[in-house]
């Protein structure tokens, strides 16, 4: 009798574990259903998971009668993904952005964003509103107003944090920091968002009044050089983060050159971020840059100072402390006139 009871209990336990595993798999499964735009003739679409520095194909689906479907198990942590036809070397105009999470995710021809699950619905709502704002107004203040008016809707969830991450470049840091401080720890710790909140911590340490952080790089001719070779030597130093491929950076150069000519005591150090050396050199020649330019192909200086978009400028006092940062080239003359 004891043997029968033991066998029965083990069998029941096995069934319970099997049921639990099936239930968990079902709860974590996702379906991504999409409809191709009329006239789009692509036989296959691909699902890419986006990592910090990676773009990985995880699945493909055949397009039949203009529709396609992906099915899989959602990762443990929310994951950003792209769906589009073509290969990594051939990105066509048809691209959908989505968050991979359990449920039925829908991609249609009316939006580049996904719907159908809680986080995708939330992002689609806010992204659509932000897109309308950006199409009707080029003033970043309009985006700030949107966040101020709508932040309470998603202040404690992934949608708010993700949108803040995506649009932080259009907002002043004190405002971003004030909103980010309201995001709970469980959201801040998500792998998709952790780099953003780590960067906020870095920028907080790199605010005006704080000492400079040294970074070892090299000049464009290969000579080893560090920021400490220029900063904290008794002169005002402007560090200009730029790149040859950055259109706004190139457009800002004539104004920067004019300010430098007006303030000959100002020392300027350019840092070519995530740029190819030969292209940096060509841009230096084309733009007539006369000051020292350091090469930073891996972007370590930008990471050290929390720079997430270029052009970006940081002005250092003679003692090496940060005087100002994240200002426009048009603001530089006023800053120097007041400081010098």
Q: What's the per-residue H, E or C state across 109-156?
A: CCCCECECCHHHHHHHHHHHHHHHHHHHCCCHHHHHHHHHHHHHHHCC
* pTM higher than 0.85: no
187 lies in the same domain as 225: no
Domain hosting 264: range is 216-339
Instruction: Give dist(CA 5, CA 197) in Å, integer.
Output: 55
Q: How confident is the model at residue 7 (pLDDT cuts 50, 70, 90)?
A: very low
Two structure tokens written together for 232: 């904290």
184 lies in the same domain as 89: no
83 lies in the same domain as 103: yes
Q: How confident is the model at residue 17 (pLDDT cuts 50, 70, 90)?
A: very low
Q: How confident is the model at residue 54 (pLDDT cuts 50, 70, 90)?
A: confident
- The answer to whether position 2 is within a domain reads no
Over residues 69-123, the pLDDT tens digits come to 999 999 988 999 989 886 656 656 678 889 999 999 999 877 778 999 999 999 9
Q: For residue 114, what pLDDT is reported? A: 93
Overall domain count for the chain: 3
Q: What would the mean pLDDT of 239-247 be, rounded to a whole number? A: 95
- Residue that terminates a domain, selected from 205, 229, 248: 205
- The answer to whether position 271 is within a domain reads yes
Q: Considering only CA atoms, give the Rg of the chain.
A: 26
- Residue that terminates a domain, selected from 60, 90, 112: 112
101 lies in the same domain as 179: no
Q: How confident is the model at residue 22 (pLDDT cuts 50, 70, 90)?
A: very low
237 lies in the same domain as 324: yes
- Return contacts of 223-228, CB within 8 angstroms, 24+ apart: 225/292, 225/294, 227/269, 227/301
DSSP classification of residue 52: S
Q: For residue 92, what pLDDT is reported? A: 60
Question: Which residue(s) pair with 106 in the sheet?
Answer: 33, 115
- The answer to whether position 1 is within a domain reads no
Over residues 116-173, the pLDDT tens digits come to 999 999 999 999 899 888 888 767 789 999 999 999 999 999 999 999 998 988 888 8
- Residue that terminates a domain, selected from 89, 112, 135: 112
- 238 and 268 in contact (C-beta within 8 Å)? yes
85 lies in the same domain as 164: no
- The answer to whether position 100 is within a domain reads yes
245 lies in the same domain as 174: no
220 lies in the same domain as 335: yes
Q: For residue 10, what pLDDT is reported? A: 37
Q: Which helix (H) or strand (E) holds 158?
A: helix 158-167
Residue 192 backbone dihedrals phi, psi, to 5 degrees: -70, -25
What number of other Cβ atoms are within 10 A of residue 243's Cβ? 24
Instruction: Give dist(CA 262, CA 249) in Å, integer.
Output: 20
What CATH number did the domain enclosing 263 receive? 3.40.30.10
Statement: residue 14 has pLDDT above 60: no
93 lies in the same domain as 126: no
Percent of the chain with pLDDT over 70: 89
Q: What would the mean pLDDT of 212-240 be, rounded to a whole number? A: 94
- The answer to whether position 94 is within a domain reads yes
Task: For strands 67-73 and 29-35, give the pairing.
Answer: antiparallel
Instruction: Give dist(CA 185, CA 318) in Å, integer.
Output: 39
237 lies in the same domain as 333: yes
User: Alpha helices of the chain — where are they, by DSSP H?
Assistant: 2-28, 118-136, 140-154, 158-167, 173-180, 185-188, 194-205, 247-262, 277-287, 300-305, 329-339
Q: For residue 67, what pLDDT is reported? A: 93
Q: Using alpha carbons, list the distances in angstroms from residue 250 to 240, 242, 280, 285, 296.
A: 12, 8, 11, 12, 17
Statement: residue 65 has pLDDT above 50: yes
Q: What is the mean pLDDT of the chain?
A: 86
279 lies in the same domain as 329: yes
């Amino acid at each position: 009798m004891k043997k029968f009871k033991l066998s029965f209990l083990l069998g029941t336990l096995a069934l319970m574990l099997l049921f639990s595993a099936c239930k968990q798999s079902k709860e974590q499964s996702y379906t991504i259903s999409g409809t191709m735009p009329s006239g789009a003739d692509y036989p296959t679409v691909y699902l890419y998971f986006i990592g910090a520095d990676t773009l990985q194909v995880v699945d493909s689906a055949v397009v039949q009668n203009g529709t396609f479907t992906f099915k899989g198990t959602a990762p443990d942590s929310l994951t950003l993904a792209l769906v589009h036809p073509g290969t990594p070397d051939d990105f066509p105009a048809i691209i959908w952005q989505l968050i991979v999470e359990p449920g039925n995710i829908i991609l249609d021809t009316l939006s580049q964003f996904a719907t159908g699950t809680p986080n995708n619905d939330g992002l689609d709502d806010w992204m659509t509103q932000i897109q309308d704002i950006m199409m009707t107004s080029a003033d970043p203040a309009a985006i700030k107003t949107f966040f101020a008016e709508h932040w309470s809707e998603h202040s404690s969830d992934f949608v708010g944090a993700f949108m803040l991450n995506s649009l932080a470049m259009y907002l002043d840091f004190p405002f971003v920091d004030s909103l980010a401080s309201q995001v709970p720890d469980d959201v801040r710790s998500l792998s998709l968002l952790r780099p953003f909140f780590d960067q906020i911590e870095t920028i907080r340490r790199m605010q005006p009044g704080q000492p400079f952080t040294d970074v070892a790089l090299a000049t464009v001719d290969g000579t080893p050089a560090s920021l400490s070779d220029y900063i904290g030597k008794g002169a005002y130093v402007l560090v200009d983060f730029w790149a040859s491929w950055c259109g706004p950076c190139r457009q800002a150069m004539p104004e920067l050159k004019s300010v430098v000519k007006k303030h000959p005591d100002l020392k300027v150090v350019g840092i070519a971020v995530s740029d190819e050396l030969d292209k940096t050199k060509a841009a230096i020649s084309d733009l007539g840059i006369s000051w020292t330019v350091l090469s930073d192909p891996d972007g370590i200086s930008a990471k050290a100072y929390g720079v997430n978009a270029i052009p970006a400028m940081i002005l250092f006092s003679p003692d090496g402390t940060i005087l100002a940062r994240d200002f426009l080239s048009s603001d530089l003359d006023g800053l120097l006139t007041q400081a010098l």
